[in-house]
A and B are shown apart, each in its own frame.
Chain A
Amino acid sequence: MITDPTPRTSLGEGKSSRKNSATEARGGGNPIGLYLHIPFCVRKCNYCDFCSKPPSENDFDKYFERLKSEFSDYKRSPKIKINSLFIGGGTPSLLPLGYFTRLFDFISDTFDFCEDCEITAEINPGTLTEEKAKEYRALGINRISIGLQSIHENELKMLGRIHSFEDFLCSYSLLQSLGFDNISVDLMYGIPEQTAKSLKETLEKIIALNPQHISLYGLIIEEGTRFANRLSELNLPSEDEECDMYYLASELLRRAGYSHYEISNYAREGYECRHNLKYWNTDEYIGIGAAAHSFFLGQRYGNTRDLFSVVRDPLANGETDADEYVMMRLRLSDGLSLDEYRKRYGTDFCHGREKLLFRLKDLGLLTLDGGKIRLTERGFYVSNSILTELL
């Protein structure tokens, strides 16, 4: 934890060294992304180390007070334009009816929505009601991300999820019936007791529903989670089994017509998540709410996990440096454009790395075509080691 939090008043002030983006971000410039964190859940999942907890009485209102105050830090004239909004959590759909409307009042007070703004809300099947879904629709939310993880009850139970597959199907058809036509389903592999066969079943069932986007994350045992505390009793798939699952999933999704556009993300053409792409493109975004991170006016900073007060920690290496750019770009199937790299950093990325790049190419871990370096499927899966070699 960095001990010298940025004073809240300094946002966008006195950053003369970053004149261009500062001017832009005061309004009228290129639109940026906005992330909103709702740190409440019915119950914390066994693997979860996000900032979230079951709400106590009045927590929603107290939290909204905090959000209101934090929004005011970003008031500019003209307003900052946003072309992506992501309301994540926690479980945003846990908020009672009417809260989303209040939230959108805050947002439109401070920010200017672009015409084609991508507006995503994360929902949890156990918490969505028809009224809430209609509220989302009415507010202009045009993308829904549903956390499912698995279709198997034993795996859901193992993860500590509060919903069944049946709950998911209800939510899914409800959303479709209301006209939501950009739905993403979150799935997981590497779950204790999961097998390649059970993952295949999950994927086949979901592919049959034909969502526009699928995220598939490998389970990571994070410190301090319930899973970490009983690690020894978890029947986790071996590293090899996990790899097999990853390749199996990539293959199934590819055959079903999804493009593997980022290490953990698959989409129908044109349905890549614009908001997440901002992270990988090292574009700017503002994060509001507990533990939310921002990359704004050339500075990276993160809110602490304090729910009811805003404390910002500047993050070391705030500047988007070349390594960071490479690291993020190589997560994308679109890869690293050598031209773009040269434009940004004035140097040739390949210089001094020729031998290494050809070696990695020979090993089938990356391709060098059309002025772009792209990791292969296999390369994606050992991307940390490749980056360690390259950077």
Chain B
Amino acid sequence: MTNKQEKIRNFSIIAHIDHGKSTLADRILEKTLAVASRDMEEQLLDNMDLERERGITIKARAVRLNYKAKNGEEYYFNLIDTPGHVDFGYEVSRSLQACEGALLVVDATQGVEAQTLANAYLAIDNDLEILPVINKIDLASADVEGARREIEDIIGIPAEDCPAVSAKVGLNIEDVLEKIVTDIPAPKGDPNASLKALIFDSHYDSYLGVVVYVRVVEGTLRAGERIRLMAKGTEFEVIEVGTMEAFGLNKTDSLSAGEVGYITASIKTVGDTRVGDTVTTAENGADEPLPGFREVHPMVYSGIYPADGARYGDLREALEKLQLNDASLVFEPETSVALGFGFRCGFLGLLHMEIIEERLEREFNLDLITTAPSVIYKVKLRSGETVMIDNPSAFPSPDEIDTSYEPVMKATVITPTEYVGGIMDLCQERRVVFVDMKYLDTTRVELHYELPLNEIIYDFFDALKSRSKGYASLDYELKDYRPSRLVKLDFMLNGEVVDALSFIVFEDRAYTRARKIAEKLKENIPRQLFEIPIQAAIGSKIIARETVKAMRKDVLAKCYGGDITRKKKLLEKQKEGKKKMRKLGSVEVTPEAFMAVLRLDDDN
């Protein structure tokens, strides 16, 4: 170990959602005096509004901090922030790989939860030193001893002398900093070996191009050198290297083994810099990349359309901008008879999808119509060919299909024991294969299941929350594709198929779903001058029908004392409303109504 390495501590903070990860990061920043408190924006690491609002971090960021320890020595802390949601599990694991230790934050009022465990396991898999931190001890309902016991019993790591803090009020933060120095190992690695640097994040900057965040594992990375990204073998010339300070990028000559920093190299898109990839030198490079790299593929697809068709170009630009910083977002143009021009977008998961939608609406001021999310189905055709289907409208007709397959997830649910019954019932309704049940302690149970992703994106998460009064937590990852009986369900208004409403469903579920959606359409389609038949069909077989009766009354009875302005205003208002209507065949539907039909998860 070099002298330099001895003074470096690379760590992440991991936690279940809302356990206080970002707040603790703030306090650590504050205490290390990297920035004066008054200058510091709340939650500096989370630099996107939306993330802040949801209390989660989407893109990893890192920052280098100076800390003068009680032993009188000066240390460099590299705090690598991690995304905090199940959709970003792979990114979390790569961030952890860049560290030697992790602060595992546990809310003293909640104890260990599903993502606490999932994150802890990830950290253990990456051979990290785990430093538990019990947070929120300022709250009246805090049970510090209970949290300690859970950490020891459930996760199996010692916690008797772990720091108990309140990140919110800044209590005992010093203890955490000292523990980082004493308990987290300094990095190792030979600065003179062949270069191996791990990419754990990147972001697009309009001046610098892509800024790549790396942890140098072996060797030294120098400005001006030619590098190779080992996954695809693409080469670039390094323009700049440096460290990330709280106030911004700080240019240096080189980064050596154990250090965390950034590279710029005229890289145009973040898609070229895959998280988990290894950077080496073009000449005398490493033979083997660092372990653990994999391609990330979208799991959930949805059609996104501008509510106002004229804003298609704006939507494309907005998606392109978001993609600059989010290689996991994919999209391609698609056309719907009902919705016009839009994009089929792929996401890592439901949350990722919601975040993108919200950012499009908020940052780019777009009104969107989104179709029901769909997973990717695999269909083996009678012709012998196998196709992947991410869009219900592309689903082959029943007579072409030999076997269809759907993605099945390995899921973990942690819940207080009193809700186990309800959750078991739910799982039975959802084609769930029960694998295992484990009592974590006397009050909580960990359930292992295998369930189709199709069920998760439908409404499983909300149903789980409602059946456990919000206490159950869920974590899942892809297990495999399994054969399934899938059918495409179409909806017709006035006898015409509305393509945007089609979706793929497990055969036995088709009848109930069809009825539910037909009813919802009936409730939400405003009465028109004519009667509207609603039909749900599998192929040519009608399996549900409803009718929207013709409107009977829409009249302004009186023109008061010659005041015709009221009537004019009313008509103008009606005409305005009509402009916003979406034509579904010959039927006009408000965008709100359309969304209400697609939102299937709110009343089950």
Contacts and interface: CB of A to CB of B under 8 A. Distances in A.
A279 B559 CA distance: 8
A118 interface: no
Given A328-B564, A391-B575, A383 B554 contact: yes
Interface string B523-536: 00000111000000
B154 to A, nearest CB: 52
Interface string B563-577: 111011011001100
Contacts of B556: 220, 383-384
A382 B561 CA distance: 22
Interface residues of B, number: 26
Given A388-B571, A388-B575, A293 B562 contact: yes
A37 B563 CA distance: 13
B560 A324 contact: no
Given A279-B562, A287-B561, A384 B570 contact: yes
Interface in B554-604: 554-565, 567-568, 570-571, 574-575, 578
A269 B557 CA distance: 22
Nearest to B569: A316
Interface in A305-354: 315-317, 324, 327-328, 331
Nearest to A331: B559
A113 interface: no
A147 interface: no
B565 A389 contact: no
B529 A287 contact: no
Contacts of B561: 35, 37, 50, 88, 287, 291-293
Interface string A263-293: 1100000000000001110000101000111
Nearest to B571: A387
Interface in B533-564: 550-564
Interface string A376-391: 0010111111111101
A254 to B, nearest CB: 18
A206 interface: no
Nearest to B559: A279
B587 to A, nearest CB: 13
Contact of A264 (B529, B551, B557): B557
Interface string A220-235: 1000000000000000
Contacts of B555: 218, 263, 380-384
B552 A381 contact: yes
B553 A35 contact: no
A380 B556 CA distance: 10
Interface stretch (A69-77, A95-103, A155-163, A294-302): A294-302
Interface stretch (A17-25, A130-138, A236-244): A236-244
Interface string A166-186: 000000000000000000000
B557 A220 contact: yes
A258 interface: no
Contact of B553 (A382, A389, A391): A382
Contacts of B562: 35, 278-279, 285, 287, 292-295
17 contacts: A35-B561, A50-B560, A220-B557, A239-B553, A240-B552, A264-B558, A291-B561, A291-B563, A293-B564, A302-B563, A327-B567, A360-B529, A383-B555, A384-B570, A384-B571, A387-B571, A388-B578
Sorted nearest first, the 9 A-B pairs with minimum C-beta distance are A243-B552, A384-B554, A293-B562, A385-B554, A388-B574, A218-B557, A293-B563, A217-B557, A382-B554
Interface of A: 35, 37, 50, 88, 217-218, 220, 239-240, 242-243, 246, 263-264, 278-280, 285, 287, 291-295, 300, 302, 315-317, 324, 327-328, 331, 360, 363, 365, 378, 380-389, 391
Given A217-B557, A388-B575, 8 more contacts: A264-B557, A287-B562, A291-B563, A315-B565, A363-B529, A382-B552, A388-B574, A391-B571
